[in-house]
Amino acid sequence: MKKKIAIIGAGMAGLACADHLAPDFEISLFDKSRGMSGRLSTRRAQSGETNFAFDHGAQYFSAKSAAFKDWLKPLEADGHVHRWRPRMVTISATGSEPRPTSEKFVFSPSMSSVGKVKFSGWTHIQLYLDSPVTAIDGVPGTWHLNCGESSFGSFEHVVLAVPAPQALALLPPHVDFEGRIRGTQMLGCHTLMLGYLQQNDIEADWHCAFFDDALLGFAAFNSQKPGRGGGMSLVVQTQHDWSQAHIEDELEGVGELMGLRFQDLTGLSPAADGYYLLHRWRYASAKQPAGFKYFYDDAMKLSAIGDWCLGSKVEDAFTSGYSLAKQLNAIVSSYNS
């Protein structure tokens, strides 16, 4: 009988962990959202006959480690990953300057599609979406997860693949790594999504812009990424420190400030005639990474993973989940030998 493991969170860290554990464990994967992939998130909308798509979390990613490159190879071969060399600029109040171009990657046809693609190839993983876990009950080795009025379990081991504050809220008492992740501060981010029906009304000589500004941090023409289609879609994001200071502000006011500042800096109109929405991420990045690839308590049979362990990048999340999976697989191998 395969040991049962529950993974809470279906973002990149949870996906990478589940993918590498699947051959040796029986996995149950939980997420509070209606879809997979976490901050590799895509929102779709329609105005008349025009479809829009906005990658309103991670915009692209790099691949430096051999493990991540190997994981991406079959996805790229099947057309689910595309390489991209975007034209990048830095924009400030005094003008814009080109930035060096480097190769990036995007999942296709959207950043969020990686979750569906990986799940379609899994045979021993149970997926529970729209299932926020509210508590972990029981004792080590026989954990149960409470999701509203439903309970799941028992599980030999539970992996928390969620932002550090959410992991802390779920941890039972006496977990040895609790103190080490308590000091991990997460910062928010606001993402403004603008869809234009008249594409000629908004033209720029860049694909991605970084802002030297207190409010705005980044913007990208989402519709110009490889493998995309539909109407002209623009994503504008704040500086994380600014968002954290305004995390409880009314979204309408934040959106107005972002739009006005974007127009001031770029000369481009935020008056989108096809789609307009502001999204708030409460936990977008780690101000100071925890400094470990993952956290693991063998006695309590609990672990914690996420990009916040190492940084704030997509590859950080993959490395965290992949590294924990290697640890758990090694333990099973030692039991069997």
- Tell me the pLDDT band of 204, cut-offs 50, 70 and 90: very high
**Highest mean pLDDT, choosing among 112-126, 191-205, 264-278:** 264-278
Please provide the CATH number assigned to the domain covering 42-111+185-287. 3.90.660.10
DSSP result, 170-226: HPPTT-TTHHHHHT--EEEEEEEEEEESSGGGS--S-SEEEE-SSSEEEEEEGGGST
For the chain, residues classed under CATH 3.90.660.10 are 42-111+185-287
d(CA 8, CA 265): 41
- Tell me the pLDDT band of 203, cut-offs 50, 70 and 90: confident
pLDDT 10s digits, 241-296: 999 999 999 999 999 999 999 999 999 999 999 999 999 999 999 999 999 999 99
d(CA 127, CA 139): 23
pLDDT at 336 over 80: no
pLDDT at 137 over 70: yes
pTM higher than 0.85 = yes
pLDDT at 333 over 80: no
Q: How far from 2 is each of 25, 71, 246, 332, CA to CA, in Å?
A: 5, 24, 47, 10
d(CA 178, CA 250): 33
Which contacts qualify for 164-168: CB closer than 8 Å, 24 or more apart? Answer: 164/283, 164/286, 164/290, 164/304, 164/306, 164/308, 165/283, 166/283, 167/304, 167/306
- Does the domain at 1-37+112-183+289-337 match CATH 3.40.190.10? Answer given as no
Q: Check if the beta carbon of residue 3 is closer than 8 Å to that of residue 101.
A: no
pLDDT 10s digits, 139-196: 999 999 999 899 998 999 999 999 999 999 999 999 999 999 998 999 999 999 999 9
At residue 335, the pLDDT reads 57
In the numeric block, which tokens belong to residue 81? 């990953």
At residue 124, the pLDDT reads 79
For the chain, residues classed under CATH 3.50.50.60 are 1-37+112-183+289-337
